[in-house]
Amino acid sequence: MKTPKVSRLKIIIFAMTLLFTISLVHAAYSELSWQYGPKYGRTFVGALGYLGLSIPSECLSSRNPLLEPICLPDIPGGYCYHESCGKVGATYLGKNYTIEVVPP
Amino acid sequence: MKRLPRRFQEHSNFFEYAVNSLFTYKTRTIAIVVSLTIAIMILGSTIFVSDGLLREAQLSVETAPDITVQNMEAGRVVPMPNAYAEYLGRFLDVRRIVPRVWGYVYLQDSIYTLMGIDPSTTPIAEELGLTLESGRFFSGNERNVAVIGSQVGDALNIKLNDQVKITEVHAVYSFTVIGVFDSDVSLFTSDLILIDIETSRDFLDMPPDTVSDLCIYLDDETKIPSTASMISQVYPDLRVITRESMKDAFASTYGLRSGYVSVLWYVLLISVILVAWNQASSASVESQREVGILKALGFSTSNILEIRFLETLLLGFISASIGIFLAIFYDLYLGAPIIRNFMLGWSAIYPNFPVPILISFGSLLTLYAAAIIPLLVGTLIPAWKSAITEPDVVMRGS
C-alpha cells in the first residue's frame, strides 16, 4: 500500500504553528500569573521602604535599599568588592565581624 | 473543491518554492538556523529573566514610600538626625514619616544587609508576618531579636530560636532569631537581617537618635513633585528620592539597558549580521545560476525578489520559533542554569531560589524582530543583485 506523502510545506507550517502557539500560550499564562499571582515585593517595600532585589546588577546600582552606589565612590582608589568585579576591595572593608551560633 | 484565486495561487507557489529552496541549500539553511537559534535562545532566556526581575521590582515600587530622604555629606549618604522627621512633619501634609536604619555586615566572606525598623511605626507590619516560613515577627517593644532571610539561615547555619553572637573589635552583639522569612520571598530577603531599630543603631555604630533615611507617605499622591521640591528648597543638604525616580532607577538596573542584556543584544546583532552576510555571499554563485534558469522560464525580477524575501523570512521565523521555544524550556523547566548565576546572588551568596520569569508578548515580538529584520537587511542587496541577473549572462557563464 502506498503511504500518502506529506509535503514539506505542510510539515514546516505545522511545526512552526505548533512552536508559535506554544510560545503564545506560555506568554499568556505568564502575563496572567504576574497579573493575578501573589505580589510579595509589594508587602516588603510597602512595609520596609525601598529594597533592592537581592541580586547583583551593574556595579553602580548593586544590592542596597536605595540602589546607592556602594562600589567606586566608597573607597579612594575605587576598588570594588562586588563579586562580579573581583574581590580586591574585601580587604578594605574595615570592620570584621565574627559570628557564633548558639542553639536553644 | 473551489480553486484559489490565481494571484493567491501564485504567491502560494512562490512560498512552496521558498520552502523547497531551504531543503535544496541544506548546508546554508542548517548553518543559519543553528547559529540564529542559539543566539535567540540565549537572548530570549536572558530577556525573560530580566523582564521578570524588572516586573518584580516595578510591582514592589507601587507600594513604596512616596518620598524618601537621605542626608548627604561630601557626596555620600550619612546618618541623619531623627529630628528631621519632626521638622518635615511640621510643614508638610504627610500621613506618616517612618525612620529606617540600615547598613552592611561582613560575615564569613559575605555581605549581609542589616536593617532596623520600628514595628510600631512601620506600615503593614502585620502583613510581614504572613511572609514568614517559621516563627513570628517582632513587636515594637522587643529588643535583641531578629528575623532573617532563609538564605541567611542556610549560609550561616542559623535556625529558628538560635541565639546569634556577633563579635567585632569593641563589642559583642547578641540576638535571638525569632522568625525566618519564607523562601518564596527570597528575592527580597536572601541577605536580609531584620532587627529592631535601637539595636541596629548600636550594631552599626550610629549615634543615638539618628537614622539612615526617612520614608515619607503623603495623603495625596498628586502632591509628590511639589512636596519633593519643597523639601529640596528648605533642606538642600537632603537627597530627595521620589517613587517615580525609583521606577526609572529600577528600569535602568534590571531592564533592557542592564549590563548583561545589553551586551547580549550587541553580540546577537553582530552575529546575525555576520550570518546574513555569509549566507548572501556563499549562495550567490549558485543562486545566480538558479535565477538565470528561472528567468529563462518566465519569472520576473519581482518574482525572484519575492522568493528570496520569503526564504529569508522563513529562515528567520524558523530560527526565532525554535530559539524562543528552547528559551522557554530552558528558563521555565530547567530553572535557567548558568544564566541564574549571573542574575542572582549578592556578594558571595548565591541564593538557591527560582528566578522570576516573565514571558511577555512584547518580548516575543522583539525576539522575532531581532531574528528576522537583520537577516532581511543583510540579504537585501545580494538578493537584488542576483534577481537582476540576465539569463543569457548566466547561461554563457560570463
B207 inside domain: yes
- With a threshold of 0.90, does the pTM exceed it? no
Mapped onto helix, strand or coil, the DSSP state of residue B49 is helix
Angstrom distance (rounded) from CA B305 to CA B385: 10
Within an 8 Å CB–CB cutoff, is residue A36 touching chain B?
no
Q: Which of these three, B182, B211, B240, is where a domain ends?
A: B211
Residue in B closest to A36 by C-alpha: B59
The amino acid at A3: T
Domain that includes residue B31, residue range: 6-58+254-396
pLDDT above 50: residue B40: yes
Evaluated on CA atoms B173, B178, B182, B183, the torsion sign reads positive
Phi, psi of B278, deg, nearest 5: -60, -45
User: With contacts defined as CB-CB under 8 Å, which chain A residues touch B16?
Assistant: 7, 9
Within an 8 Å CB–CB cutoff, is residue A26 touching chain B?
yes
Tens digit of each residue's pLDDT (9 = 90 or more) over A7-48: 778 888 899 999 999 999 999 999 999 888 777 777 778 888
Angstrom distance (rounded) from CA B178 to CA B334: 34
B40 inside domain: yes
pLDDT of the residue at A59: 46
User: With contacts defined as CB-CB under 8 Å, which chain B residues touch A45?
Assistant: 60-61, 63-64, 188
User: Any bridge partners for residue B238, and if so which?
Assistant: B71
pLDDT of the residue at A77: 38
Contacts of B281 (CB under 8 A, 6+ apart): B382
Angstrom distance (rounded) from CA B133 to CA B319: 44
pLDDT above 50: residue A62: no
Angstrom distance (rounded) from CA B103 to CA B325: 43
Whether residue B139 is found in the same domain as residue B174:
yes
Please choose, from the candidates B186, B139, B146, B182, the residue with its C-alpha nearest in 3D space to the C-alpha of residue B162: B146
pLDDT of the residue at B91: 81
Mapped onto helix, strand or coil, the DSSP state of residue B283 is coil
What DSSP string describes B100-138? EEEEEEEETTEEEEEEEE-TTTSTTHHHHGGGEEEE---
Q: What is the DSSP letter of A6?
A: P
Q: Do B113 and A63 touch (CB under 8 A)?
A: yes
Residue in B closest to A93 by C-alpha: B106
More confident residue, B13 or A83: B13
B230 inside domain: no
Q: How far is A4 from chain B (nearest CA, A)?
A: 18
Quote the ipTM score: 0.77
User: With contacts defined as CB-CB under 8 Å, which chain B residues touch A54?
Assistant: 113, 149, 151, 186-192, 344, 346, 349, 351
- Inter-chain Cβ pairs, chain A and chain B, closer than 8 A: 239
Contact status, residue B315 vs residue B375, Cβ threshold 8 Å = yes
pLDDT above 60: residue B338: yes
Whether residue B197 is found in the same domain as residue B294:
no
Q: Do B346 and A54 touch (CB under 8 A)?
A: yes
Residue in B closest to A19 by C-alpha: B321
Within an 8 Å CB–CB cutoff, is residue A10 touching chain B?
no
Whether residue B44 is found in the same domain as residue B170:
no
Angstrom distance (rounded) from CA B398 to CA B386: 14
pLDDT band, very low/low/confident/very high, at B351 (cuts 50, 70, 90): low
Whether residue B378 is found in the same domain as residue B272:
yes
Within an 8 Å CB–CB cutoff, is residue A98 touching chain B?
yes
Whether residue B199 is found in the same domain as residue B287:
no
The amino acid at B239: R
Tens digit of each residue's pLDDT (9 = 90 or more) over B160-190: 999 998 887 777 888 899 999 887 777 788 7
Which cell is B59 given?
Answer: 510591582
Whether residue B179 is found in the same domain as residue B291:
no
Average pLDDT on B51-56 reads 84
User: With contacts defined as CB-CB under 8 Å, which chain B residues touch A95?
Assistant: 106, 168-169
Q: Do A41 and B56 touch (CB under 8 A)?
A: yes
More confident residue, B267 or B90: B90
pLDDT band, very low/low/confident/very high, at B260 (cuts 50, 70, 90): low
Give me the residue from A44, A68, A98 closest to B77, CB to CB: A68
Whether residue B275 is found in the same domain as residue B306:
yes
Beta B172-181 vs B132-135: how paired, if at all?
antiparallel
Alpha helices in chain B (DSSP H): 6-24, 26-61, 83-91, 125-128, 150-156, 186-189, 197-203, 224-234, 243-254, 259-282, 284-296, 301-328, 339-343, 361-387, 391-396
Q: Which of these three, B176, B211, B246, is where a domain ends?
A: B211
Average pLDDT on B301-313 reads 87
pLDDT above 60: residue B269: yes
Whether residue B261 is found in the same domain as residue B187:
no
The pLDDT mean for chain B works out to: 82
Give me the residue from B102, B185, B328 closest to A26, CB to CB: B328
Tens digit of each residue's pLDDT (9 = 90 or more) over B111-120: 788 888 888 8
pLDDT above 60: residue A74: no
Considering its fold, how many domains does chain B have in total?
Answer: 2
pLDDT of the residue at B28: 80
Within an 8 Å CB–CB cutoff, is residue A97 touching chain B?
yes
Tens digit of each residue's pLDDT (9 = 90 or more) over B204-230: 888 888 998 898 998 888 889 999 999
pLDDT of the residue at B371: 87
pLDDT of the residue at B57: 80
Q: How far is B58 from chain A (nearest CA, A)?
A: 9
Q: Percentage of residues in chain A with pLDDT exceeding 70?
A: 51
B28 inside domain: yes
Whether residue B306 is found in the same domain as residue B391:
yes
Contact status, residue B203 vs residue B195, Cβ threshold 8 Å = yes
Q: How far is B320 from chain A (nearest CA, A)?
A: 9
Give me the residue from B162, B191, B325 closest to A103, CB to CB: B162
Which cell is B51 given?
Answer: 523582564
Whether residue B172 is found in the same domain as residue B278:
no
pLDDT of the residue at B221: 85
pLDDT of the residue at A82: 46
Q: How far is A52 from chain B (nearest CA, A)?
A: 7
Please choose, from the candidates B124, B190, B204, the residue with its C-alpha nearest in 3D space to the C-alpha of residue B155: B190
Q: Which of these three, B187, B211, B235, is where a domain ends?
A: B211
User: Which range is least confidently modeled, B91-95, B212-216, B226-230, B247-251?
Assistant: B247-251
Whether residue B274 is found in the same domain as residue B336:
yes
Average pLDDT on B330-359 reads 74
Whether residue B295 is found in the same domain as residue B188:
no
pLDDT of the residue at A90: 43
